[in-house]
Amino acid sequence: MNTAKSIPSFTPQKSTTVRSMRAPWTLRTAVAMGSTFAPERTAERALEWFTTPMERSRTRALAAETGGAAIGSFRFDGHTLSTYAWGHVGREPTVLLSHGWSSYGLRFLPWVQPLRELGYAVLAFDQPGHGRNAPARITLPGFADTVLALGRHYGGFAAAIGHSLGGAALAVAMGDGVQIGRALLIAPAADGVAASRRFARAVALPEPLRATMQARLELQTGRSMSELAIHRVAPHLGAPALVVHDLEDDEVPWEEGERYARYWPRARLWSVEGLGHHRIVTDPRVIAAGRDFLAGAQIGERVVSTPELVYGCV
């Protein structure tokens, strides 16, 4: 099956443009005033917003079909996390499904039957503060730590599929030692600093306070955002990977997915169009290509670094 599409030329002058997402003007005005008159408090509030998933994640998860999943729980770091299993997880070759920010494990339900037909057991879960779980604050290091804990508990996974921040969590957890045989990353986020800057622009938070917010987050998590950027993590990963990203993704820019494919030694990139950041997760063509990739097919194209690209040569 040849589902690959040509990778467009990319230079700093021709990059995918991400739509400017803006918070309500009332919030932006409050942040602007707070930045002047109460900067420390404003930075702390911004950090709270940046690390708190949206309530709709839990609302949608409770209303979602379970597809016959065995619903269980997993205790980690003081949290009780909801899990969803199809098949004999841990006894059969298992695929882990890693959802993105303000999402939930059952978002991947359309993947379950195709994966079961390949002979895999399937495990999905809700990150802290997400899905059926209690409210909590979390960001990329916490996402990755949850994946790492699941890997230790189940002895690793034959494969894993991650969307957005869930894809980044898989990469970071693999760098930290979780065993994953093949990784399928859908619109993965590559750079926490860039994400924090997109957030800051959305809420009108000035750069000095964004930097303060980042410093506080790094102090809390014990992890440097710049050290978790994919161009630092991916060169050390050996598993085969497929990155699927929409050229016009308006939340996580296409070039972040391209960066995964460029720095991950055994990764390939399949660029798609017209699916955006969310519909791409359950698009039948993406599921079919992902199924073929997990069955051993080569999907997409290998990316080769050149000096003209933003992060240079590997």
CATH architecture of the domain with residue range 25-294: 3-Layer(aba) Sandwich (3.40)
Per-residue exposure over 31-40, b if at least 16 CB sit within 10 Å of its own CB, e if not: beebbeeeee
- Distance, in Å, from the CA atom of 108 to the CA atom of 281, rounded to the nearest integer, reads 7
Question: Splitting the chain (314 residues) into consecutive groups of 10 residues, what average pLDDT does each group show?
Answer: 34 32 83 94 96 90 96 93 97 97 97 98 97 95 98 96 98 98 98 95 96 97 96 96 97 96 96 97 98 96 70 49
For the stretch 146-176, pLDDT in tens is 999 999 999 999 999 999 999 999 999 999 9
For the stretch 266-280, pLDDT in tens is 999 999 999 999 999
Output the pTM of the full model.
0.90
CA of 313: how far to CAs of 12, 241, 308, in Å?
A: 15, 20, 9
Long-range CB contacts (within 8 A, 24+) of 30-34: 31/203, 31/204, 31/205, 32/204
- Strands 79-86, 70-76: pairing is antiparallel
Could you tell me how far CA 149 lies from the centroid of its own chain?
17
